[in-house]
């Protein structure tokens, strides 16, 4: 009985294997590249041939039992072939991929030192590899995008082995020169005639004593006083020259493509009106402000956008709002993008500002007299010159070990009394012998 059952089971297994092989022949995968064609042979004459997505792969009937299939664009579709009774003769999965063999050869010829890996997916091609610098990685992506054409996206996963940190050393120097010269005679006189009083006053710095003295601006002063007349005169003369210098040397480090900022100065309050008759305070920075954005193009080339600004508070142009006095700012700002090698310097100069003021004050009528008019005239000449120079030096930097960075505290240690005594005896010195020179890496680090 068992033998019969076993004998009966053998045909069933054979039929299952035949059915599996038939199914495999009916439905199979067909892989093409864009622009590639392949001839598909059918087991029997086909009455109907259908493809799901003609934009992915198209077909052309070559004969009753043959069909041309050619790839249009990357994607996946299905090919059906039916006989006159509607039974399937062939069902094929058609996959269209990007031709990468020639593209790999092109990349190997253009970039022999950069290993590039390409992998395709429906609608996209991914690039992987390690480039020496950002320019080479960008060139690889541009080559792949140009070879693929439109309709495909490029996924760039290239890494850059070159250092991508930039250290920027900036020196901002501002020199201001002030010149103030004034010369004139200031009068103050009072004449009493009975119950009537007459007075005259010119210039500033009045109410000086009658004796000759040197005031804040007056070199010589004098006066005459009687019962009816009080007359004072002040020679106002000044020759002042001032020189001021502002220097800032910020040192910043930033990643390629990122922005670093530096501010050396302060902030002043500004009232801001809000709803409900409320007033809030905001602070605006002033001083030496620096923003820079580096982009590492190669191990020795840096594209640098630098924005230095020097500002100061001034009363010229100040306003009053809601009982608050809001000062104004004197601002000198530069915004430029340059390309430098690591260690090269850029100087931004020519930022000059010059203000000149010449004022003549005189008493009407008396100040116009040919000779005596100088006694009733006061002149003042002011001149202010400001020059700003910005020096920028970028460096491509790499991280280092902590033990390679010395500090000033790593110098000699203080010795004990016994060690100092033994050291003097070893040198043959007495109690008053002086210590010898230090040897090795000691002292300050600059």
* Contact call for residues 251 and 172 (beta carbons, < 8 A): no
Task: Assess whether 77 and 105 both reside in one domain.
Answer: no
Residue 348 lies in a domain: yes
pLDDT at position 418: 65
CA distance 41 to 23: 16
pLDDT at position 183: 75
Smallest Cα–Cα separation from 347: which of 169, 166, 165? 169
Higher pLDDT, 416 or 75: 75
How far is C-alpha 40 from the geometric centre of its chain's CA atoms? 60
The beta strand positions in 194-228, using DSSP E, are 196-201, 218-225
Task: Assess whether 328 and 367 both reside in one domain.
Answer: yes
The beta strand positions in 299-341, using DSSP E, are 301-321, 324-333, 336-341
Task: Assess whether 93 and 151 both reside in one domain.
Answer: no
Q: Which residues of 127-149 are buried (b: 16+ CB within 10 A; e: fewer)?
A: bebebebbebbebbbebbbebbe
Smallest Cα–Cα separation from 234: which of 254, 213, 256, 264? 213
Residue 341 lies in a domain: yes
Task: Assess whether 91 and 110 both reside in one domain.
Answer: no
* Structure tokens given for 331: 């601002």
Phi, psi (rounded to 5 degrees) for 57: -145, 140
| Coil vs helix vs strand at 202 | coil
With a cut of 50, say whether residue 444 has pLDDT above it: no
* Structure tokens given for 26: 């009916």
Task: Assess whether 153 and 272 both reside in one domain.
Answer: no
What single DSSP character describes residue 312? E
What percent of the chain has pLDDT above 70?
Answer: 75
Residue 392 lies in a domain: yes
pLDDT at position 352: 74
* Contact call for residues 334 and 307 (beta carbons, < 8 A): yes
pLDDT at position 438: 53
Question: What are the respective helix, strand and coil percentages of the chain, to the nearest 5?
Answer: 15, 55, 30
What single DSSP character describes residue 78? E
Contacts of 438 (CB under 8 A, 6+ apart): 412
CA distance 329 to 86: 87
Task: Assess whether 270 and 338 both reside in one domain.
Answer: yes
Task: Assess whether 119 and 107 both reside in one domain.
Answer: yes
What single DSSP character describes residue 271? E
pLDDT at position 205: 47
Q: Last residue of some domain: 382, 397, 412?
A: 397
Task: Assess whether 283 and 368 both reside in one domain.
Answer: yes
pLDDT at position 362: 74
Tell whether the torsion through CA atoms of 141, 146, 147 and 149 is positive or negative: positive
With a cut of 80, say whether residue 439 has pLDDT above it: no
CA distance 329 to 318: 9
pLDDT at position 38: 87
* Contact call for residues 164 and 244 (beta carbons, < 8 A): no
Task: Assess whether 108 and 249 both reside in one domain.
Answer: no
Task: Assess whether 249 and 391 both reside in one domain.
Answer: yes
pLDDT at position 409: 65
Other Cβ atoms closer than 10 A to 34: 21
What percent of the chain has pLDDT above 90?
Answer: 0
Higher pLDDT, 343 or 317: 343
Residue 16 lies in a domain: no
The beta strand positions in 363-406, using DSSP E, are 377-397
Q: Last residue of some domain: 49, 80, 97?
A: 97
Both ends of the chain: CA-CA distance in Å? 102
Q: What is the pLDDT of residues 323-376, one digit of tens each?
A: 777 888 888 888 888 888 888 888 877 767 777 877 777 777 777 777 667 777
Residue 57 lies in a domain: yes
pLDDT at position 420: 62
Q: Residue 113 sits in a domain of what CATH number?
A: 3.30.1340.30
Residue 83: which domain range? 27-97
For the chain, the average pLDDT equals 75
Higher pLDDT, 94 or 442: 94
* Contact call for residues 116 and 103 (beta carbons, < 8 A): no
CA distance 381 to 355: 11
Q: Which residue has the tokens 């640098």?
A: 304
In sequence order, what are the beta bridge partners of 75? 96
Q: Which residue has the tokens 């000149």?
A: 356
Task: Assess whether 122 and 60 both reside in one domain.
Answer: no
Q: Assign 18 a pLDDT band (cuts: 50, 70, 90).
A: very low
Q: What is the pLDDT of residues 194-246, one digit of tens each?
A: 677 766 666 654 444 434 343 445 566 667 777 777 777 777 777 777 777 76
How far is C-alpha 398 from the geometric centre of its chain's CA atoms? 19
Domain count, the chain: 3
CA distance 392 to 248: 12
């Amino acid at each position: 009985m068992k033998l019969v059952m076993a004998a009966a089971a053998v045909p069933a297994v054979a039929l299952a294997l035949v059915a599996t092989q038939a199914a495999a022949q009916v439905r199979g995968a067909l892989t093409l590249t864009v622009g590639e064609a392949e001839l598909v042979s059918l087991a029997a004459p086909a009455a109907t041939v259908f493809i799901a997505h003609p934009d992915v792969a198209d077909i052309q009937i070559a004969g009753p039992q043959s069909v041309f299939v050619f790839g249009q664009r990357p994607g996946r579709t299905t090919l059906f072939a039916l006989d006159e009774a509607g039974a399937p003769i062939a069902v094929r999965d058609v996959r269209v991929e990007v031709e990468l063999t020639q593209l790999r050869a092109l990349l190997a010829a253009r970039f022999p030192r950069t290993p590039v890996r390409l992998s395709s997916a429906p609608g996209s091609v991914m690039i992987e590899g390690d480039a020496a610098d950002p320019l080479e990685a960008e060139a690889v992506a541009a080559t792949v995008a140009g070879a693929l054409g439109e309709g495909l996206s490029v996924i760039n996963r290239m890494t850059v082995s070159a250092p991508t940190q930039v250290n920027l050393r900036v020196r901002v120097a501002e020199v201001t020169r002030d010149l103030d010269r004034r010369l004139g005679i200031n009068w103050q006189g009072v004449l009493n005639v009975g119950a009537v009083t007459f007075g005259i006053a010119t210039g500033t710095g009045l109410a000086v004593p009658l004796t000759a003295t040197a005031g804040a601006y007056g070199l010589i002063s004098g006066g005459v006083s009687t019962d009816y007349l009080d007359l004072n005169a002040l020679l106002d003369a000044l020759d002042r020259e001032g020189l001021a210098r502002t220097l800032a040397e910020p040192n910043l480090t930033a990643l390629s493509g990122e922005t670093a900022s530096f501010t050396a100065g302060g902030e002043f309050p500004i009232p801001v009106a809000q709803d409900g008759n409320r007033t809030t305070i905001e602070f605006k920075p002033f001083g030496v402000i620096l923003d820079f954005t580096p982009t590492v193009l190669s191990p020795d080339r840096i594209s640098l956008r630098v924005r230095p600004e020097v500002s100061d508070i001034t009363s010229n142009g100040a306003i009053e709002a809601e009982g608050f006095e809001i000062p104004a700012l004197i601002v000198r700002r530069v915004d430029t993008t340059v390309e430098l090698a690591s260690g090269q310097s850029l100087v931004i100069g020519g930022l000059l500002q010059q203000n000149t003021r010449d004022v003549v004050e005189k008493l009407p009528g008396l100040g116009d007299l040919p000779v005596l008019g100088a006694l009733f005239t006061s002149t003042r000449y002011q001149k202010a010159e400001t020059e700003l120079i910005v020096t920028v030096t970028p460096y491509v930097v790499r991280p280092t070990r902590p033990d390679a960075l010395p500090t000033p505290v790593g110098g000699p240690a203080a010795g004990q009394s016994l060690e100092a005594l033994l050291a003097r005896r070893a040198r043959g010195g007495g109690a008053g012998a002086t210590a010898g020179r230090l040897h090795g890496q000691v002292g300050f680090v600059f």
